[in-house]
């Protein structure tokens, strides 16, 4: 009800203020129009001005002008009080109008005052007020004052209510806290054995098998009996777990030992289950089957080694198979052992063994051929030379033909003798005599011989300033370098290569010695890995023993030989020596007078 009374009083005052403001604004517009025609001192203007004040039921009105000094002066006044003192317009009203308000309406001493601007230069303002009855305004003011007091009391009552509620809540929480604390103490005494049992069970679950429940303060009830049973169970569990751990450790040690043994053998070993899945494979098997040390366990055996899987499917226990379709397939000796549904497959690379057998067989063949051919060569050559001396001068008509035929016999005998010498060198290569030699001197001597013999080919030889020394057989290495250079020369000469170039490089990278020979001939064949086998050659007049001898000499010196395509065309042959390995595996022969054997 107080809210409604306050709103009613406030609405009444607002309506009266709005009425005075509208009358003042309308009156200012009318006076502005009249002043455009009459002056403010004109009696006609004063008559109109008074009429406007009376018709609009205004109590007082004044036209106030403010000069540059800020002093107010009245140009026209309509007021029943002729003795009024002071300024008509409050300074606050002027500030509000200067700030941008068009009309200022306020209540002062039971009067509703309104101020608005008539002209901006000079600043002329219209002031009006309307007196209201004192009881009406005092009742509205009292209603608003009572409403304000009511609202203040309502706010204070809410604050007091909140304080009371807070105190009530605090006391309630305190009582609840005390109750809970007492309940917890009582409950702890009741459930402590169960809590200890749960804690011990959690430790057991986390792996601490030594956890036990303290039996010193257990009561003779169901919980106490359960705790004692739990302790006996954990003791038995700890004992059995220790036994299992010991057995597993022994199994792990045995497995590690078996894996170490498998890793040390040179043969590949694979365990295959009944589903054809590889369960275990040593590093040798992984390298032979996948070409690199990638794990193959867990993969299908038929996918990794189809040729071996066929043997397993056919039930064969032993076989020799070839793996790989490249220029150098691997020959494997395979053995399969069945253990129930599982199988153990062992295989070993015997490619080198077969190659050694072939070389041994060819060495025996070469020795026999050399023996059978060498005996008649000397009589044939001597007979041909004797025919030339004996009958060459006596023939007149057929002398050119006779000399051509006998010369052909002698030349072919010489070629056969060279072939026999190569056979002998391959079949009866002596055991190397190792000494510390100047490698640059050996290689440079071989290059010099070919430079003199083939002036039409340009030879380039690069080597480090400090010549490396190597424990080697000087004669055999000289023969190897000569054979490699001879092959390069023949590749250029037989194919009519213009501007033939042979480059020889001696380098010492990473404690190794690399000797590389490059030519700009036609290059190497696709099956270049077979070039080191006896009697394999790509030339029409080649014996196929030159590179076989080089390979044999390289093996005697624990070196490796590589065949590659040279940049820009041609062939590249490299021999890599490892001085540390040679020093470890050889014995230097005592010095003799023939230390510097000719190459």
What is the CATH number for 575? 3.30.565.10
With CA atoms as reference, report the closest residue to 423 among 381, 385, 379, 377: 377
Average pLDDT, the chain: 80
Q: What is the pLDDT of residue 109?
A: 77
Give the β-pairing of 501-507 and 513-519: antiparallel
Residues 494 and 395 in one domain: no
Q: What is the pLDDT of residue 161?
A: 87
Q: What is the pLDDT of residue 237?
A: 85
d(CA 477, CA 409): 34
- Report yes or no on 383 lying in a domain: yes
Least confident range of 520-529, 535-544, 563-572: 535-544
CATH of the domain at 214: 1.10.287
- Report yes or no on 597 lying in a domain: no
Are 443 and 515 a contacting pair, CB within 8 Å? yes
Q: What is the pLDDT of residue 510?
A: 85
Are 457 and 499 a contacting pair, CB within 8 Å? no
Is pLDDT above 80 for 396? Answer: no
Domain stops at, among 264, 295, 321: 264
Is pLDDT above 70 for 134? Answer: no
d(CA 590, CA 599): 20
For residue 176, give every residue at least 6 positions away whose Cβ sits within 8 Å of its Cβ, in sequence order, or none.
none
Is pLDDT above 50 for 3? Answer: yes
Kindly state the helix (H) or strand (E) to which residue 94 belongs, with its residue range.
Answer: helix 91-98
- Report yes or no on 419 lying in a domain: no
Give the β-pairing of 458-462 and 501-507: parallel
Give the single-character DSSP code of 221.
Answer: S
Is pLDDT above 80 for 125? Answer: yes
d(CA 551, CA 446): 18
pTM for the whole structure? 0.40
CATH of the domain at 22: 3.30.450.20
For residue 495, give every residue at least 6 positions away whose Cβ sits within 8 Å of its Cβ, in sequence order, or none.
521, 522
Residues 86 and 31 in one domain: yes
Residues 220 and 258 in one domain: yes
Q: Count of alpha carbons within 13 Å of 55, Cβ hemisphere only?
A: 11
- Report yes or no on 430 lying in a domain: no
Are 61 and 79 a contacting pair, CB within 8 Å? yes
> What value does the mean pLDDT take over residues 494-499?
85
Q: Residue 490 class from Cβ within 10 Å (0-12 exposed, 13-18 middle, 19+ buried)?
A: middle
Domain stops at, among 216, 238, 264: 264
Q: What is the per-residue pLDDT across 152-196, written as a single tens digit (0 to 9) for each?
A: 887 888 888 888 899 999 999 999 999 999 888 877 777 777 777
Orientation of helix 351-391 relative to helix 399-427, angle to 10°: 150
Are 24 and 126 a contacting pair, CB within 8 Å? yes
pLDDT higher at 409 or 125: 125
- Helix/strand/coil for 527: coil
- Report yes or no on 144 lying in a domain: no
Residues 259 and 281 in one domain: no
With CA atoms as reference, report the closest residue to 308 among 348, 280, 355: 348
Kindly state the helix (H) or strand (E) to which residue 193 belongs, with its residue range.
Answer: helix 134-205
Number of residues that make up the chain: 599
Least confident range of 27-41, 219-233, 237-251, 528-542: 528-542
> What value does the mean pLDDT take over residues 432-438?
90
Phi and psi dihedrals of 540, rounded to 5? -65, -40
> What value does the mean pLDDT take over residues 245-265?
81
- Report yes or no on 150 lying in a domain: no
Is pLDDT above 60 for 136? Answer: no
Q: What is the per-residue pLDDT across 335-358, written as a single tens digit (0 to 9) for each?
A: 888 877 788 888 877 766 766 666
> What value does the mean pLDDT take over residues 307-321?
79
Q: What is the pLDDT of residue 560?
A: 92
d(CA 166, CA 148): 27
- Report yes or no on 143 lying in a domain: no
- Report yes or no on 155 lying in a domain: no
Is pLDDT above 70 for 2? Answer: no
> What value does the mean pLDDT take over residues 94-102?
86
Highest mean pLDDT among 95-99, 227-231, 281-285: 95-99
d(CA 14, CA 9): 9
For residue 330, give every residue at least 6 positions away whose Cβ sits within 8 Å of its Cβ, in sequence order, or none.
288, 322, 323, 324, 349, 351
> What value does the mean pLDDT take over residues 365-370?
64
Q: Count of alpha carbons within 13 Å of 181, Cβ hemisphere only?
A: 6
Highest mean pLDDT among 170-184, 204-218, 308-322, 584-598: 170-184
> What value does the mean pLDDT take over residues 118-125?
80
pLDDT higher at 75 or 500: 500
Residues 218 and 315 in one domain: no
Query: Distance between terminal CA atoms of the chain?
Result: 135
Are 552 and 422 a contacting pair, CB within 8 Å? no
Residues 575 and 498 in one domain: yes
Is pLDDT above 60 for 427? Answer: no
With CA atoms as reference, report the closest residue to 126 among 135, 134, 115, 137: 115
Residues 7 and 107 in one domain: yes
Residues 175 and 297 in one domain: no
Domain stops at, among 222, 243, 264: 264
> What value does the mean pLDDT take over residues 430-448?
89
Our count of domains for the chain comes to 5
Is pLDDT above 70 for 227? Answer: yes
> What value does the mean pLDDT take over residues 538-558?
77
Residues 253 and 291 in one domain: no
Q: Residue 122, preceding bond cis, omega within 30 degrees?
A: yes
d(CA 67, CA 201): 100
For residue 82, give every residue at least 6 positions away whose Cβ sits within 8 Å of its Cβ, in sequence order, or none.
none
With CA atoms as reference, report the closest residue to 31 among 64, 67, 57, 59: 64
Q: Which domain holds residue 339?
A: 272-345
Q: What is the pLDDT of residue 579?
A: 92
Residues 575 and 476 in one domain: yes
Residues 215 and 236 in one domain: yes
Residues 445 and 575 in one domain: yes
- Helix/strand/coil for 279: strand
* Number of Cβ within a 10 Å radius of residue 185: 9
Q: What is the pLDDT of residue 170?
A: 92
Q: What percent of the chain has pLDDT over 70?
A: 81
Is pLDDT above 50 for 597? Answer: no
Burial 456-476 (b: 16+ CB within 10 A, else e): ebebeeebeeeebebbbbbbb
């Amino acid at each position: 009800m107080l809210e409604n009374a306050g709103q009613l009083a406030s609405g009444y005052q607002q309506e009266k203020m709005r009425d005075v403001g509208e009358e003042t604004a309308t009156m200012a517009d009318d006076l502005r129009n009249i002043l455009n025609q009459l002056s403010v001192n004109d009696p006609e203007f004063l008559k109109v001005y008074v009429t406007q004040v009376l018709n609009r039921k205004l109590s007082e009105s004044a036209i106030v002008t403010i000069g540059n000094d800020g002093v107010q002066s009245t140009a026209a006044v309509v007021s029943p009080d002729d003795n009024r003192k002071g300024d008509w317009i409050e300074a606050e009203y002027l500030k509000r109008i200067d700030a941008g308000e068009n009309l200022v309406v306020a209540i002062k001493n039971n009067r509703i005052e309104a101020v608005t601007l008539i002209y901006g230069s000079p600043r002329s303002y219209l002031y009006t007020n309307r007196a209201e009855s004192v009881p009406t305004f005092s009742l509205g003011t009292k209603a608003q004052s009572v409403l304000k007091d009511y609202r203040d009391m309502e706010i204070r009552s809410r604050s007091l209510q909140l304080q009371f509620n807070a105190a009530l809540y605090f006391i309630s929480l305190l009582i609840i806290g005390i109750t809970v604390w007492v309940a917890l103490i009582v409950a702890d005494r009741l459930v402590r054995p169960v809590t200890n049992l749960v804690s011990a069970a959690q430790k057991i679950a986390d792996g601490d098998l030594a956890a036990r429940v303290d039996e010193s303060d257990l009561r003779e009830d169901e919980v106490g009996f359960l705790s004692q049973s739990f302790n006996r169970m954990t003791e038995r569990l700890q004992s059995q777990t220790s036994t299992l751990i010991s057995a597993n450790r022994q199994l792990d040690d045995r497995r590690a030992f078996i894996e170490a043994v498998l890793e040390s053998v040179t043969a590949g070993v694979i365990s295959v289950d009944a589903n054809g899945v590889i369960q275990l494979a040593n590093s040798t098997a992984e390298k032979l089957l996948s070409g690199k040390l990638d794990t193959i366990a867990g993969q299908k055996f038929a996918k990794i080694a189809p040729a071996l899987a066929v043997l397993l499917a056919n039930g064969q226990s032993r076989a020799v198979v070839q793996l790989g379709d490249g220029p150098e397939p691997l020959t494997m000796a395979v053995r399969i052992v069945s253990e129930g549904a599982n199988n153990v497959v062992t295989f070993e690379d015997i490619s080198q063994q077969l190659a050694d057998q072939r070389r041994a067989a060819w060495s025996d063949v070469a020795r026999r051929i050399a023996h059978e051919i060498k005996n008649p060569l000397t009589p044939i050559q001597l007979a041909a030379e004797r025919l030339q001396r004996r009958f060459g001068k006596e023939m007149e008509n057929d002398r050119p033909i006779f000399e051509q035929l006998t010369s052909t016999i002698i030349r072919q005998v010489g070629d056969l003798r060279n072939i026999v010498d190569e056979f002998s060198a391959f079949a009866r290569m002596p055991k190397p005599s190792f000494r510390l030699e100047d490698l640059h001197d050996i290689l440079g001597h071989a290059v010099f011989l070919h430079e003199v013999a083939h002036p039409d080919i340009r030879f380039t030889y690069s080597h480090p300033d400090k010549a490396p020394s190597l424990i080697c057989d000087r004669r055999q290495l000289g023969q190897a370098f000569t054979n490699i250079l001879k092959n390069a020369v023949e590749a250029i000469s037989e194919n009519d290569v213009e501007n033939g170039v042979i480059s020889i490089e001696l380098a010492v990278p990473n404690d190794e010695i690399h000797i590389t020979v490059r030519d700009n001939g036609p290059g190497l064949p696709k099956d270049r890995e077979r070039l080191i086998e006896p009697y394999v050659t790509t030339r029409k007049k080649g014996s196929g023993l030159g590179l076989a001898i080089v390979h044999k000499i390289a093996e005697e010196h624990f070196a490796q030989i590589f065949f590659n395509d040279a940049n820009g065309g041609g062939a590249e042959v490299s021999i890599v020596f490892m001085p540390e390995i040679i020093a470890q595996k050889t014995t230097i022969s005592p010095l003799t007078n023939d230390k510097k054997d000719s190459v």
